[in-house]
Structure 1
Amino acid sequence: MSRQNELVGLDIGTSSIKAVHLHRSGNVYKLAELGIAHIHPETIVDGIIMDAATVSTAIRQLFDKHDIAIKDVAFSVSGHSVIIKKIKVPTMKKAELREAIVWEAEQHIPYSIEDVNLDFQILREAGPNEQEMDVLLVAVKKDTLNDYLAVISASGLRAAVVDVDAFAIENAFTMSTKFQPGEVVALVNVGAAITNINILNGGISDFTRESPLGGNRHTESLQKGVGLSFEQAEALKRGEAIEGHGFAEAKPVIEMANSELAAEIRRSFDFYYSTSQSHTIHRVVLSGGCASLPGLASYLSSALELPVEIANPFQNIVADPKKFDAQYLASIAPQMTVAVGLALREPEDSAV
């Protein structure tokens, strides 16, 4: 059956806003609409909306331009205002845990409980003789969440689902992937300002971390090292020709930024190994706007000594070739991963 209440996945990112609307019939998803609106890099900083009017206007224009009539949206948050922790709690039923989660959260959240929205997910039920179970705890500061809700409302839309970037990416990935027994996959989403890492063990989130390092580092390095404007640096890092400057000139600067990113990812992996029973990551799936940077996937594969593949959240979604150009979809696929993951959500879903 088709979904009774369809949602639009709305990814409000640091450098752009993405929207994806999917039709579902049974287990088949069809791409109905999608769009991207670019915003100034200082409009949203570390997940905090600095210019609400610009964001709401961009969202409204995006929906108008692509004739998206659906008003209910699923959106996600990231940055310092989001806390994700895997904790152990005494074995209890889900209803009991919902009552006890506030007390449990107070032991792990560095903010006042009154200042955050909480949710949780039981990762693994306790065995017959186990006294504890694994729970994923999520907390988002209310003032940050309220800012997002305000711009969505000002855009004439309704927020039906609130999610976290890392879990939206996981949702897009697990929809189309079957895991091998014991397989550990690292989902690495490199956005403009933040890199999300979510390590799945057997399809279950085992480790999450965010780093304030993303594609902006490449842009800033090119601005300083080669003497380019922001727009020129953005174009050159993507391999586009810039008058008076060649990619060969930029390559050493880009490789230095790649090295910083690889080192940051490796630190996260090392921390995972030190805190987990697993000592192997079998493959990396790279998403985000920076996933398509020339040579980045192969560089990370070499630096991390792991297979690295680029995400394509559209691979199992039907797209009418008369409406959507296949080459264009392939080119934007990695940066649409969060939006697709959000579009797959149901109205009753919510992470926070």
Structure 2
Amino acid sequence: MPDFFARPQFLGIDISDRSIEVLRFDNNRKISAYNRVELEDGIVLDGGILDGKRLAAALDEVLAGIRPRPVSAVISLSESKTFVRVLTVPDGLEGEALRQAVEKEARSAIPFPLEEAYADYIQAGRQTDGSRTVLYACAPREIVDGYASVLRGGGIEIAAVDIESLSLGRALLLPSESPRKPGAKAAGRTAGTMIADIGSRTTTIGIFDDDNALAVSVTVPVAGSRFTHAIAEKLKVDAAAAEALKRRYGLDRKDPGNNVAPIIEAEIRAVVEGVTDAIRYYQTRYGKDVGRILLAGGSALMPGIAEHFRSLLGLRIEIGDPAGNIGGDWRPGLPPILFANVVGLALHGQRGRQAVDLYKTAQKNKALPRLAEFTRAARQSPAFAAVFLAGAFALLGLSVFEYVLLRPFVPRPAVVAAPAPGPEDQEPAPAAEPSEPQPTPPPIAAEPEPAEVAAPEPAAQPAEARVRILPTPTGWLNVRQGPGSDQPVITRVRPGEEYVLLEETDGWYKIRMDGDNPGWVAAQYVGKE
């Protein structure tokens, strides 16, 4: 007899610039299927889809061995594509009153209309002044819809869209340490735990405090591909050879044949600085220390990386191990650390715990039209309504038969209750924009410019000073007629382009474009030469 009330088995899908990982658990939280494929260049860049057709083909390949074929999945977006902010609202609010208060604070905190984003929030901690904090996360709708379209083309609907920091915490922190019900203290922990996921293009840094809640989330725009590129450039070898050298020698200074360690050390310095800044911010804001750091991502497999961080930071450094938090066997050649994020995504679907769902708004918007379509069909066709009611009564009868008559005589396996979701007494920090490794980074936005910035008197800059446009979550940067996000947009510029700097004022640069036309851009996405 089928169990109509069994917990659904969601598939976790982690899509990054370089690879796709998929993983699914059974009802006993053991791996039932998992797989991984590497992506070629030009398919995904900085979390944005460049070639949907090739990505769909790669998804078909990675899902080929997953049986039965999944119909829904939990995904996450790159931290460079999400915006995370701690908001303060009056304590005691619930339901619609809380939602309105959060929306009001969010509108003043993010520099683009909420109507252009998918968002979610979870309650965090209470403050001594009678206020409450919430962890608010959002992402541009066009980014989320792009992934939904590709997945839907392969017959998969999005069940939830999580953020990477929370997913990693779910996977790498043991149950006694991972986020659970508000106010619950983690067994044996008196200091925060940092997770540094050194991926291909970016490093995601998250600090979980002793109340098992995400307190700091930072993104550093330096990771494994930067190390590989530097090795290739310094040693005059191709990318494949450089990648092999990085994996073979890494940061292991004990190997006499290691001539790549100094190259990697120079590049990884930015990651170490990002870690140091995040710790300093955590200490200042929360008055707590970080007790250990868990390293994750493909670069965590480099020889000597834990020892390198330990020598520079003087902290307990470990390589994260999602296998210690779940059951099941891992195939040789596929290190579990590569699946850390997708493990957390699959746990989102099975257990919940501390999690956000940026796709919740989209699902609500789709539910109303579907309900309206069903109502119209029922009114227009009495036969349709009769068939539906007959099916509903049949399903109800089966359920009653099973749970009232049959189930008392059928032994059932014990079910372990999942801890209630939601952290307590935390104040998460904002996520970092990939322009500079800072512990209090600028927001990620579809139109990445500060909201309502007044235009003070600009100061003249020396002639021919030049600036370079830095990466943005949308792949472009708006150029405005004057300094301020209330000024009209006159054109767009792209990351990597260089322009002459004409003037500079608080938060804005005036640049000279083609044809000597001037315009103003947000300074947070511009680097001086």
Same fold (TM over 0.5): yes
SS of structure 1 residue aligned to 2:241: helix
**Partner of residue 299, structure 2:** 290
SS of structure 2 residue aligned to 1:249: coil
CA spacing shift, 1:204–1:299, aligned 2, 3 Å: same
Q: Which of the residues 12, 17, 32 maps onto 2:15? A: 12
- 1:93-142 deviation per Cα after TM superposition (whole angstroms, max 9, x unaligned): 33121233221101211222111111111112457xx4201211101111
**Partner of residue 218, structure 2:** 209
SS of structure 2 residue aligned to 1:193: coil
* Counterpart-to-counterpart distance in 1, 2:6 and 2:295: 30
Aligned ranges 1:1-352 → 2 under 5 Å: 3-25=6-28, 29-67=29-67, 69-95=69-95, 96-125=97-126, 130-178=129-177, 179=186, 180-202=188-210, 203-239=212-248, 248-274=258-284, 276-320=285-329, 324-325=330-331, 327-328=332-333, 332-346=335-349, 350-352=356-358
CA spacing shift, 1:236–1:181, aligned 2, 3 Å: closer
**1:137 corresponds to which letter in structure 2?**
Y
* TM-score, structure 1 as length reference: 0.88
* Counterpart-to-counterpart distance in 2, 1:234 and 1:339: 24
Verify the 8 A CA contact 2:79 2:204 in the aligned structure 1. Answer: no
- 1:235-290 deviation per Cα after TM superposition (whole angstroms, max 9, x unaligned): 2111179xxxx95222221222232321232223223333x122411000111111
**1:221 corresponds to which letter in structure 2?**
A
- 1:26-84 deviation per Cα after TM superposition (whole angstroms, max 9, x unaligned): xxx11111111100244222211111111111111110144452221100002433111
* Counterpart-to-counterpart distance in 2, 1:169 and 1:93: 30
**1:13 corresponds to which letter in structure 2?**
S
* Counterpart-to-counterpart distance in 1, 2:176 and 2:229: 36
CA spacing shift, 1:190–1:333, aligned 2, 3 Å: same
* Counterpart-to-counterpart distance in 2, 1:79 and 1:213: 13
Verify the 8 A CA contact 1:149 1:159 in the aligned structure 2. Answer: yes
Verify the 8 A CA contact 2:82 2:139 in the aligned structure 1. Answer: yes
Q: CA RMSD in A?
A: 2.3
Verify the 8 A CA contact 1:86 1:137 in the aligned structure 2. Answer: yes
CA spacing shift, 1:8–1:175, aligned 2, 3 Å: farther
Q: How far off its partner does 1:165 sit? A: 0.8
* Comparing 176-185 and 253-262, the one that deviates more: 176-185
* Counterpart-to-counterpart distance in 1, 2:157 and 2:46: 24
* Counterpart-to-counterpart distance in 2, 1:79 and 1:181: 27
* Counterpart-to-counterpart distance in 2, 1:3 and 1:85: 35
Verify the 8 A CA contact 1:60 1:156 in the aligned structure 2. Answer: no
Q: How far off its partner does 1:291 sit? A: 0.9
Verify the 8 A CA contact 1:109 1:139 in the aligned structure 2. Answer: no
**1:183 corresponds to which letter in structure 2?**
A
Q: How far off its partner does 1:16 sit? A: 0.5
**1:285 corresponds to which letter in structure 2?**
L
Structure with the greater alpha carbon radius of gyration:
2
**Tell me, which stretches of 5 or more residues in structure 1 are unaligned?**
none
CA spacing shift, 1:169–1:52, aligned 2, 3 Å: same
Verify the 8 A CA contact 1:191 1:289 in the aligned structure 2. Answer: yes
**1:44 corresponds to which letter in structure 2?**
V
* Counterpart-to-counterpart distance in 2, 1:114 and 1:316: 38
* Counterpart-to-counterpart distance in 2, 1:104 and 1:260: 33
**Tell me, which stretches of 5 or more residues in structure 2 are unaligned?**
178-185, 251-255, 359-529
* TM-score, structure 2 as length reference: 0.60
- Runs of 4+ deviating beyond 4 Å: 347-350
CA spacing shift, 1:35–1:259, aligned 2, 3 Å: same
SS of structure 2 residue aligned to 1:351: coil
Verify the 8 A CA contact 1:291 1:335 in the aligned structure 2. Answer: no
SS of structure 1 residue aligned to 2:349: coil
CA spacing shift, 1:51–1:125, aligned 2, 3 Å: same
User: Matched residue pairs, number?
Assistant: 336
* Counterpart-to-counterpart distance in 2, 1:121 and 1:65: 36
Verify the 8 A CA contact 1:186 1:198 in the aligned structure 2. Answer: yes
Verify the 8 A CA contact 2:208 2:216 in the aligned structure 1. Answer: yes
- 1:135-181 deviation per Cα after TM superposition (whole angstroms, max 9, x unaligned): 11101111111111111112221111110111110111345343334
**1:47 corresponds to which letter in structure 2?**
G
* Counterpart-to-counterpart distance in 1, 2:81 and 2:324: 32
SS of structure 1 residue aligned to 2:274: helix
SS of structure 2 residue aligned to 1:80: helix
SS of structure 2 residue aligned to 1:282: strand
**1:72 corresponds to which letter in structure 2?**
S
